[in-house]
Each structure stands twice: as C-alpha cells, then as structure tokens.
Amino acid sequence: MPQILRKPTRRDEEAKFAELQTRAAARLSRIAAPTRQSAPVARALDEFDNRSRARIVADYPALVICEEDEDTPATIVDMSKDGLRLRFARPNYLPASILIDSPAFNGFVVAEVKWQSGVEAGIAFDHLWTKRLAAPFR
C-alpha cells in the first residue's frame, strides 16, 4: 500500500527538536561541558561559491551522533555551502536527521541525510535547526 505523505505538524516539529536536543545533551555530557566557544554553532561557509555548489576536498574527522548513547566516527571527504559527504569505516544506517560534531565546525551541526551508499552518505545542512539548537548556549 503506498504511503501517504503529509506535511509535518507543529507537534511533529517540536518532537523532532526535542529529539535533537536530547542527542546533543547526551553528547555534551560525554565530553566537557559546553563553553561559549564550543557551543553548537555552524561555521560560516561563505567562502564557497554558492552558485556552482562547488565542493572542496576535505579530510576532517567527524562524529555522527545518531542516538543518545552512540557516536559513529566518520571522515568528511568533501564539503560545499549546502552540505558534505561522509565516509565511514563500515556501512552504517543513518536516521533522517543527524548531528555532526567535527573540528571543521564550531560545535554541532544539524543535518539531513539525503543519500546513503555503502560506506558513504550525502548530507545537507539544516541551518535553521542548527541555529535553534545553538540558541540556548549563546
């Protein structure tokens, strides 16, 4: 039977935000308490050409926070203003929304998984959710 797609309600959005907050809080409790410098704020990616969506090759370590109690190590292999490509040591199943913690950013970045294939995944940044998640730490 085909699935009927529906527009997310305010309750759906609040549930998603609560889940993201829980994952971020659990991650922060596993590391040092957040400071103003390490609060979840997306790094400005204005130096990238937005029109061509040019990607730059990267080699940054990253932790993908999929669950409250699990950090999955990955490598950022390329980045653009809108997203990045992750590579894992072994195939992983990622949920629709993830948090990424990496030295490439100042704290956490909220992202949507756009595609997965073997040990790689395409990720789109969710700037609005990242700002909302960071707001209490500013």
Question: Tell me, what's the pLDDT at 138?
Answer: 57
Does the residue 2 lie in any domain? no
Q: Are residues 125 and 105 in contact, defined by beta-carbon separation less than 8 angstroms? A: no
Can you tell me the distance from the alpha carbon of 100 to that of 10, in angstroms, rounded to the nearest whole number?
A: 24
Rg (CA), the chain: 15
Q: Which domain holds residue 66?
A: 10-137
**10-14, 28-32, 71-75, 128-132: least confident range:** 28-32
What would the pLDDT profile of 108-117 be if each residue is shown by its tens digit? 889 999 999 8
Question: Tell me, what's the pLDDT at 35?
Answer: 37
CATH number where 74 lies: 2.40.10.220
What would the pLDDT profile of 90-99 be if each residue is shown by its tens digit? 988 888 889 9
Does the residue 76 lie in any domain? yes
Averaged confidence pLDDT in the chain? 76
What residues are paired with 60 via a beta bridge?
76
- Higher pLDDT, residue 137 or 45: 137
Does the residue 62 lie in any domain? yes
Total domains in the fold of the chain: 1
Does the residue 95 lie in any domain? yes
Q: Can you tell me whether residue 23 is helix, strand or coil?
A: helix
Residue 61: phi and psi, rounded to 5, are: -70, 150
Does the residue 4 lie in any domain? no
What would the pLDDT profile of 45-92 be if each residue is shown by its tens digit? 344 334 456 788 888 899 998 876 778 899 999 998 889 999 999 988
Does the residue 64 lie in any domain? yes
Can you tell me the distance from the alpha carbon of 6 to that of 127, in angstroms, rounded to the nearest whole number?
A: 23
Q: Is the pLDDT of residue 32 over 90?
A: no
Residue 3 — very low, low, confident or very high, per pLDDT cuts 50/70/90? low
Q: Which amino acid is at 41?
A: V
